[in-house]
């Protein structure tokens, strides 16, 4: 799952209004940012197998640190604690919201991944395999994204013209990123693919920060 992860990020404002959107955007893709860095440096591993699923060519056969159930829970707790320590206000609520946002990644991946998510490192692997039906997987992703986006618009108000326009521009950019992610061939090396993935998620986090500048919580 790619853009679908950002549905919970947009919806995060309904849980913790004091947490900025950029923080939710980083949280929901934290494990994939780490995954990109880890595969680029040979810590986790992936094979490119053309036609492996309808959605992509990645055989994600080794990612116990980022995408196993204990790994996802661990990163969730760590991110929540860090936010609670650093946040100036509503520390407990903000930390809980960030932790939930991080763990939402694993739950949504469970829907689309083929069985490659380990319930424990080296243990049973799960995944409902919706990537084998890309139109249906894309419909689910778009649905999750749009629900979260609608909640975000309801919970925030524009500060001016840019605040009214930017969320829709941002939504279009997310759709374009999904199209590029699905249609572009994988990068030439795992190092390139890993760093490109991590950079993409960080760029989208930066774009989310513009929403924080142009909109305010109701």
pLDDT in tens, 9-28: 999 999 999 999 999 999 99
* Contact partners, residue 159, CB within 8 Å, separation at least 6: 214, 215, 216
Is residue 184 scored above 90 in pLDDT? no
Q: What is the pLDDT of residue 188?
A: 73
pLDDT in tens, 101-155: 999 999 999 999 999 999 998 899 999 999 999 999 999 999 999 999 999 999 9
pLDDT in tens, 156-167: 999 999 999 999
pLDDT in tens, 65-81: 999 999 999 999 999 99
Q: What is the pLDDT of residue 181?
A: 80
Question: Are 149 and 167 a contacting pair, CB within 8 Å?
Answer: yes
Q: What is the pLDDT of residue 97?
A: 97
Average pLDDT for the chain:
94
Is residue 51 scored above 80 in pLDDT? yes
Q: What is the pLDDT of residue 193?
A: 87
Q: Model-level pTM greater than 0.85?
A: yes
Q: What is the average per-residue pLDDT within 76-98?
A: 94
Instruction: Map residue 138 onto helix, strand or coil.
Output: helix
Q: What is the pLDDT of residue 121?
A: 84
* Contact partners, residue 92, CB within 8 Å, separation at least 6: 84
3-state DSSP helix/strand/coil percent for the chain, to nearest 5?
Answer: 70, 10, 25
H helices present in 54-133, as ranges: 64-67, 69-86, 91-112
Which residues share a beta bridge with 158? 215
What is the dihedral sign for C-alpha 111, 200, 67, 212? negative
Q: What percent of the chain has pLDDT over 90?
A: 84
Euclidean distance between CA atoms 45 and 64, whole angstroms: 10
């Amino acid at each position: 799952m790619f853009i679908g992860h950002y549905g919970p990020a947009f919806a995060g404002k309904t849980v913790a209004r004091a947490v900025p959107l950029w923080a939710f955007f980083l949280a929901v893709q934290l494990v994939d940012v780490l995954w990109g860095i880890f595969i680029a440096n040979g810590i986790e591993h992936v094979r490119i197998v053309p036609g492996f699923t309808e959605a992509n060519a990645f055989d994600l056969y080794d990612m116990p640190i980022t995408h196993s159930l204990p790994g996802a829970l661990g990163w969730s707790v760590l991110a929540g604690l860090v936010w609670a320590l650093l946040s100036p206000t509503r520390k407990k609520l903000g930390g809980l919201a960030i932790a939930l946002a991080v763990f939402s990644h694993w739950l949504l991946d469970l829907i689309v991944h083929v069985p490659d998510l380990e319930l424990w490192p080296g243990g049973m692997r799960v995944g409902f395999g919706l990537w084998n039906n890309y139109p249906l997987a894309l419909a689910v992703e778009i649905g999750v994204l749009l629900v979260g986006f609608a909640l975000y618009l309801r919970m925030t108000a524009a500060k001016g013209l840019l605040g009214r326009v930017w969320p829709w521009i941002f939504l279009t950019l997310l759709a374009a990123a999904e199209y590029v992610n699905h249609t572009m061939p994988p990068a030439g090396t795992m190092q390139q693919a890993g760093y490109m993935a991590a950079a993409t998620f960080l760029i989208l986090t930066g774009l989310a920060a513009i929403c924080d500048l142009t909109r305010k919580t109701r």
